[in-house]
Amino acid sequence: MQHPAIEMKNLWFAYGGQRVLDQVSLTLPAGEFLAVLGPNGGGKSTLLRLLLGLVKPGGGSLRVLGQQPGQTGGLIGYLPQFTAVSASFPITVLGAVALGLVRPGFSGLTGWLNPAARRAEREAALLALSRVGLADQAGRRLSDLSGGQRQRVFIARAIVSGPELLLLDEPTASVDGKSRQELMALLAELNRDMTIVMVSHDMSTVDGCVTSIACVNQSLHHHAESRLTPEIFAQAAGVDLRATCPVELVAHGPVPHRVLLDHDHPDCCGGAHRPEKKDNGPDKGKNIGTANAHANGKDKGGAA
Amino acid sequence: MMEALGFEFFRNALLAGLLASVICGVIGSLVVVNRIVFLAGGVAHASYGGVGLAFYLGLPVLPVTTGFSTAAALGMAWVTLDARERSDTVIGVLWAAGMALGIILLDLTPGYNSDLMSYLFGSILAVPRSDLALMAGLSALVLLLAGLFSRGLLVMSFDAEFARSRGVPVRFLHFLLMALVAACVVMVIRVVGLILVMALLTIPPFMAERRASSLGGMMLLSAVLSAVFCVAGLYLSYALDLSSGASIIAVACLGFVLSLLVPAGRGRRGPA
């Protein structure tokens, strides 16, 4: 993987005359697990659509896996938002996963496959299903599965073509807490084989699992760390910390909770928002050496 | 039933009903899973403009209507491309505009047109052989195209956003699907009329969807259900001297209600 997974410079995109994204620059090395945070309407999903080639940038340069977006075919795995698929669609779990093998262009439209190709598709789909832990559900109707299981089926569909880059749009929305943890563990494991970019508004999923965080709110700030700081939190929520309390959930009694370590990084958010990852190396090690840190992610971050 | 089969008009009617059933099973399933029922309704009603045009120009009705409704369908496909804002309103306008055009053209046509109602509510018992041939040709074309592009149609129907991300030409498929809907509507106009088309396009696929585990299975099952409704409705219409189109739809609606009472099979659990 000689190319960075994502390379964008001075990218902008306007929707109806208004710039949704402006002056966005980001270089994401291969192997990263990037969480894209930001308020609703801040341009997170637009960023994904740009990477997929579904919309064209107004200006600036953008390379995905060293290629023009939209030319990458099955090299990008994509998990759209949960609501995109009708819950009652008549399809088996295996059938849904096999749809991830569709070829781009008009050659992918024709319905007739020879038996060998059909068998190869079936095996690839079964393999992808076993990676997400659902091989035993292959023959069931998709609509019979729980929300968390269904989300894992869609992840299997995204990875069945063996992508180098996995783009996820709100993967943990509309699944319950336990499924959310399992999903994040699954993604951390998939991160060993592929670069992951995850759009999320759920900041609790981010901490510790990812290797870097990008805050998108028209502009993009890339933080080369895996944990939330008050500053990242403020950027991601699109609020001013001095005016708002970032802790919105208050509960009585023995509620499971997690308190983040003190943030002692001297210059992280004082102006070092650009993705100069290497410069942060020594400080970074100190920062994320906690029980929460993801060992795999840390190694990758240091080596990048 | 046996004595009725002795008449040519009844045999033609039965054949027309079965052809329409096959097409409704295939296209109706695609309409339902793609959530374009409203669009299909727009095409069906706008095609009345084609009926008016044919009468006004003194040309054969079905071929002209086929051309007109295909044009209307492609126009609507263009309006709804990429889920544009307020596209549903534009469809509503085209829906009414097509019907109004049809009525005005018929007003301008000299002579009394007793045949008018038959296009609104169907006249399956009066299907001539020439129409039957056209219907068979259209069915073959629709089945051929749907079969040829079945993989693309399935990928788009399941998740258009994902299909787009994989470089599948979703826009082309959208136009194709709307053209197929137009062909289907023209065929079914003869059977139940353009007002009642919606019932045959939606009821059998809805009943089949919950019981099938593939899109192909859903098409097959809804075609069978359509055929049952058509034959039963046709017989009732013959035996009780009722309007054929309305009888077919009445049977379909009865089946719809019964299917809601009977729980879906295949070990289905959880909320629907």
Among the partner-chain residues B164, B172, B272, the one whose CB lies closest to the CB of A54 is B164
Cβ–Cβ gap B166/A106 under 8 Å: no
Strands (E), chain A: 6-15, 18-28, 33-37, 59-64, 76-79, 165-169, 195-199, 212-217, 219-223
Look at residue A285 in the predicted model and tell me its pLDDT.
38
* Superfamily grouping for domain A6-92+161-303: P-loop containing nucleotide triphosphate hydrolases (3.40.50.300)
B145 in contact with A, Cβ within 8 Å = no
Cβ–Cβ gap B162/A80 under 8 Å: yes
Please identify among residues 198-257 of chain B the ones whose CB lies closer than 8 Å to any CB of chain A: 208-210, 212-215, 217-218
Question: Could you report the per-residue pLDDT of B141-184, keeping only the tens digit for each?
Answer: 999 999 999 999 999 999 998 998 888 999 999 999 999 999 99
User: Could you tell me which CATH number the domain at B2-261 has?
Assistant: 1.10.3470.10
Q: Please say if the pLDDT value at position A295 is more than 70.
A: no
- Going by pLDDT thresholds of 50, 70 and 90, the confidence category of residue B257 is very high
Residues in chain A with CB shorter than 8 Å from the CB of B169 are 105-106, 109
Cβ–Cβ gap B162/A96 under 8 Å: no
A271 in contact with B, Cβ within 8 Å = no
CA distance to A32, A214, B190, per residue, from A93 (Å) = 29, 33, 39
Look at residue A86 in the predicted model and tell me its pLDDT.
78
Look at residue A257 in the predicted model and tell me its pLDDT.
56
Disruptive mutation site among B213, B215, B220, B269 for chain A (greatest number of A CBs within 10 Å): B213
Q: Which residue has the higher pLDDT, B188 or A94?
A: A94
Q: Please say if the pLDDT value at position B245 is more than 80.
A: yes
- What is the SS3 assignment for B28? helix
Q: Please say if the pLDDT value at position B270 is more than 90.
A: no
Torsion sign over Cα B215, B220, B226, B229: negative
Cβ–Cβ gap B151/A88 under 8 Å: no
Disruptive mutation site among B37, B153, B165 for chain A (greatest number of A CBs within 10 Å): B165
Disruptive mutation site among B33, B158, B209 for chain A (greatest number of A CBs within 10 Å): B158
Cβ–Cβ gap B168/A104 under 8 Å: yes
Question: What is the ipTM for the molecules in this complex?
Answer: 0.84
B34: distance to nearest CA of chain A, Å? 9
| pTM reported for the whole predicted model | 0.82
Nearest Cα residue in chain B from A87? B272
Q: Among residues B245, B20, B257, B39, which one has the least CA distance to residue B138?
A: B20
* Contacts (Cβ under 8 Å, ≥6 apart) of B117: none
Helix (H) or strand (E) holding A80: none
Look at residue A223 in the predicted model and tell me its pLDDT.
82
> Which two three-digit tokens encode residue B134?
């056209």
**Alpha carbons within 13 A on the beta-carbon side of B187:** 32
Cβ–Cβ gap B213/A52 under 8 Å: no
Q: Please say if the pLDDT value at position B73 is more than 70.
A: yes
Place of tokens 């709804």: B80
Going by the DSSP 8-state scheme, the letter that residue B246 receives in this structure is H
Cβ–Cβ gap B166/A86 under 8 Å: no
- Write down the domain spans for chain A: 6-92+161-303
Look at residue B264 in the predicted model and tell me its pLDDT.
62
Cβ–Cβ gap A95/B148 under 8 Å: no
Length of chain A: 304
Cβ–Cβ gap A105/B169 under 8 Å: yes
- In this prediction, residues B206-220 reach a mean pLDDT of 94
- In this prediction, residues A37-56 reach a mean pLDDT of 87
Question: Could you report the per-residue pLDDT of A225-267, keeping only the tens digit for each?
Answer: 766 676 676 676 666 655 555 555 555 556 555 555 554 444 4
